[in-house]
Structure 1
Amino acid sequence: MSSAYLLVSHGSRDRRPEIAMQQLAKLVHNKLSENHNLSNSEHLVGIAALEMSPQPLHEQIQQFANSVFGDGGLRTLSQNENRLKIVPLFLLPGVHVMTDIPAEVALAQQAVGQHIIIEVQPYLGSHPNLEKLLAKQTAAIKTEAWILLAHGSRRPGSQETIEAMAASLGAVTAYWASPPSLESRVKELVDAGYREIAILPYFLFAGGITDAIAASIEELKLQFSAVNFQLAEPLGASAELAELIWDLTITP
């Protein structure tokens, strides 16, 4: 059986997330080479974006599948056993993960036919060891209180995972796109007597939102001059994150 892997992110007008995705794809390619002893496997790991791309996702999937399994590709090595594994690099089980990506994959499957099987793997935020990466970041910063700041989702129940993760990390939650907001959480902590507050952004890469978070914290510093604020980094492209992604691709 021949397999290829397509890492799917949200997409951004900012170039930084795309560059980080390319770095992450290389790291996943390294894991593929290690596990299958492949020296020329880099073309088997690609990236795509759900939004902010010139092509809709289903066309990106189709194009990548054809480039890997078309004439001269893996299809000549393994007829009728070609699999393309789609890995959603999303942290919450929101509408994109539960509805949008499956719909785009269904369109791509119709287009490529039955000689390629397209499978959607579990989304990144479902990996149980993701919390350990966050714990490494919290251990590196000394503070009195942590706020785990996630994007938020309009899908009911999608934030339960974040709430549980925050509780395990000894943090409180805030959301960028839904309540409770960062400012309201900060006010609660200040009213409770905390003067050392650190914010852990639950985002994959630096980009427009993390810039906006940093700007918001500068405003909070002016509003709460007696408080020392610290901002941790987003997850970023790392060998540890690539390891979690690889685990998701080998999930039965």
Structure 2
Amino acid sequence: MVSACLLVSHGSRDPRPEVAMQELAKLVIDQARSLEVEIRVGTACLELKPEPLHEQIIKFVNNCAAWEKVDLKVVPLFLLPGVHVMDDIPNEVRLARAALGEDILIELQPHLGSHCGLENFLAKQFAATMATARILVAHGSRRQGSQLRVEAIAKNLDAVTAYWSVPPSLEVQVKELINIGHRQIAILPYFLFAGGITDAIAQVIEKLQLQFPGVDLQLAEPLGASAELADLVWDLIKE
């Protein structure tokens, strides 16, 4: 039996997330080796690839072992339980199972945003800033209830939430904090890697900084590929 894991991200036209995904995959392999576990780790994207996800899964399995049974864990590296996590990825996994047959065991693991260790991860990033107020800015989702986890994390970290695709926006939350007297505001992008959206967030902050020169807006980095993040991913693989 060949043990394998496929890390699934959204996909981006920006090359930086793909580079970071490959680095994270290497870190997960290092984590497995430190525990004397042999596992094959690959990456795939839900969108913006020539092949749909189920075809990427099939290709990865075939590359793992043409003549052996494969035990594959699919780990969605998504931070919110939106449509992609709850509907799209499970549907793609079902298509792959149907095509590969019973000799291939494919298990869909919990998404990254469900890991309880993310809160400590974010707390450390906030702790590296000097601010009297905190904003956790996530992508957002129109799926009902998908933001509950982010809201809970933000509350525990004494932060307010802002979203890129749904209200309240980053601009609204920054101005509200300024209106109640804060002059040092830490902003943490709740995104996996740097990319187009995190660049756009930085541009929004630059404009706000010009608008409010007496306020110190401190932009932190997104999660990024690190040994600590690889540890969280490894926990999801083992579940």
Which TM-score applies when normalising by structure 2? 0.98
Percent identity over paired residues: 64
8 Å contact from structure 2 (residues 29, 41) kept in 1: yes
Structure 1 consecutive aligned stretches of length 4 or more whose deviation exceeds 6 Å: none
Q: Tell me the residue number matched to 1:69.
A: 65
Note the aligned Cα RMSD (angstroms).
1.0
Q: Tell me the residue number matched to 2:33.
A: 33
Q: Tell me the residue number matched to 1:90.
A: 78
Q: Deviations over 1:35-74 (max 9, x none)?
A: 2354xx5xx1000000111111000000001111313xxx
Q: Tell me the residue number matched to 2:21.
A: 21
Aligned length: 239
Distance 1:188 1:89, change over 3 A: same
Question: What pairs with 1:147-158 in structure 2 (closer than 5 Å)?
Answer: 147-158=135-146
Q: In structure 2, the residue corresponding to 1:36 is in which secondary structure? A: coil
Q: Gaps (5+ residues) in structure 2? A: none
Q: Tell me the residue number matched to 2:48.
A: 52
1:8 equivalent to 2:8? Answer yes
Aligned AA for 1:24? L
Q: In structure 1, how many angstroms separate the alpha carbons of the residues matched to 2:204 and 2:179?
A: 19
Q: Tell me the residue number matched to 2:111.
A: 123
1:177 to 148, 159, 165: 165
Instruction: Tell me the CA shift for residue 2 of structure 1.
Output: 3.0
Q: In structure 2, how many angstroms separate the alpha carbons of the residues matched to 1:243 and 1:176?
A: 28
1:145 equivalent to 2:133? Answer yes
Q: Gaps (5+ residues) in structure 1? A: none
Instruction: Tell me the CA shift for residue 108 of structure 1.
Output: 0.6
8 Å contact from structure 2 (residues 58, 96) kept in 1: yes
Q: In structure 1, how many angstroms separate the alpha carbons of the residues matched to 2:37 and 2:3?
A: 14
Instruction: Tell me the CA shift for residue 109 of structure 1.
Output: 0.7
Q: In structure 1, the residue corresponding to 2:85 is in which secondary structure? A: helix
Q: Tell me the residue number matched to 1:218.
A: 206
Q: Deviations over 1:138-189 (max 9, x none)?
A: 1111111000000000100000001000000010000000000001101110
Q: In structure 2, how many angstroms separate the alpha carbons of the residues matched to 1:187 and 1:217?
A: 11
Q: In structure 1, the residue corresponding to 2:16 is in which secondary structure? A: helix
Q: Tell me the residue number matched to 1:227.
A: 215
